[in-house]
Amino acid sequence: MLKTVWILLGIFLAPLAQAALPFAVATVEYREVDQTYAAEALVEAVKQSTVAAQISGRIVEVNFDVGETVKKGQVLVRIDESEVRQAVAGSEAVVAQARANLQNARQHYERTKQLLAQKFISQAALDKAQADYKAAEAQLAAAQASAGQATTTRGFTAVMAPYSGVVAVRHVELGEMASPGKALMTGFDPKDLRVVASVPQYRLAEVNSAARAQVEFPSFNKWITAKAMTILPTADARTHTTRVRLDLPEDIRNVYPGMFARAHFSIGRAKKLLVPAQAIIRRSEVTAVYVVDAKGGVTFRQIRLGEPVADSMIEVLAGLSAAETVALEPVKAGIYLKGKQ
């Protein structure tokens, strides 16, 4: 009877001893999680483009810099329009001249018809007057087209954002000369991002059958469920891999094109022993945790880890058993252990 009381007392005292510790703890346990195949990937923007100059001229305005947000239709770069303005004025003068020539040709044609009716001139004279009239009409149409082209070219002096986004690269400085085809700015839409991973051909069947994946960003320990998955119908002949696109949700913070990511494709379910990622200590080549016993004692124990899973958990391959308790704040646990020693 007395032995039973001591056992029950120990069961109640163990949580009390752990609760008195100056750091948070968690229990190592088995969970049924997705069995995944991981592949390295890169973030890319669905909308990413480089705007270029369509005319020559000196750059007189650069309105945005790298990292700034731009709305659709805002002027990114303005090119000096002095030369283009003169071209527009010249084309308008040519239109006025062609219109005057057309009016003169029309009047001459009308007079020639009257003279022919009165038998004062031949039919050949009327044919020539009619031909001159049609030629004047064509010259006016050509002049108007040229003027329209000049006016359109004048609009190219203001280079505008094709969509709302963020400036990624600025290729020019104020005062530089622009020329047709010269890159001015590169931007992307941060609301529409995706991750691209290269998957070996022998894994495609598993990846395609699951059609479900999560994206890990190791730099800030974040997991995101992909909205959709697309397997591109082409393969790299050199590496024998196929590119797989994973669409990300909108408005993800701290994610931008070129960032490293890891794609985890779900290929089944498995029961794994898991430990919280925040409990892991990495010192050079040593991976360990602080284990807390039932009496509140703390020990430093080396472990071997497997693959990370969602919810900031990592698979434990060796060094821990189910129901053991680990410190979630390794720094505080280490200070506490040194104080006890």
- Report d(CA 265, CA 36) in Å as an integer: 5
pLDDT in the model for residue 8 = 33
Q: Which of 126, 156, 186 is the last residue of a domain?
A: 156
For residue 306, being part of any structural domain is answered with: yes
For residue 297, being part of any structural domain is answered with: yes
Give the model confidence (pLDDT) of 57-102 as tens digits: 899 999 999 989 999 999 999 988 877 777 778 888 888 888 898 8
Range of the domain at 111: 81-156
pLDDT at 146 over 90: no
Q: Which of 128, 156, 184 is the last residue of a domain?
A: 156
CATH code of the domain in which 123 resides: 1.10.287
Q: Is the alpha carbon torsion for 308, 314, 320, 322 positive or negative? A: negative
Read off the tokens for 207.
């990846």
For residue 15, being part of any structural domain is answered with: no
Long-range Cβ pairs for the range 220-226 (8 Å, 24+): 220/254, 221/277, 221/312, 222/254, 223/310, 223/311, 223/312, 224/248, 224/249, 224/252, 225/249, 226/195, 226/263
Give the model confidence (pLDDT) of 172-209 as tens digits: 999 899 889 999 999 999 888 999 999 998 888 888 88
Q: Which of 130, 156, 182 is the last residue of a domain?
A: 156
Q: Are residues 93 and 30 in the same domain?
A: no
Within 10 A of 96 (CB to CB), how many other CB atoms are there? 13
Read off the tokens for 217.
């960003």
CA-to-CA separations, 267 to 214, 305, 307, in angstroms, rounded? 12, 20, 14
CATH code of the domain in which 321 resides: 2.40.420.20
Contact 275, 308 (CB under 8 A): no
For residue 301, being part of any structural domain is answered with: yes
This model's pTM is above 0.75: no
Count of structural domains, the chain: 2
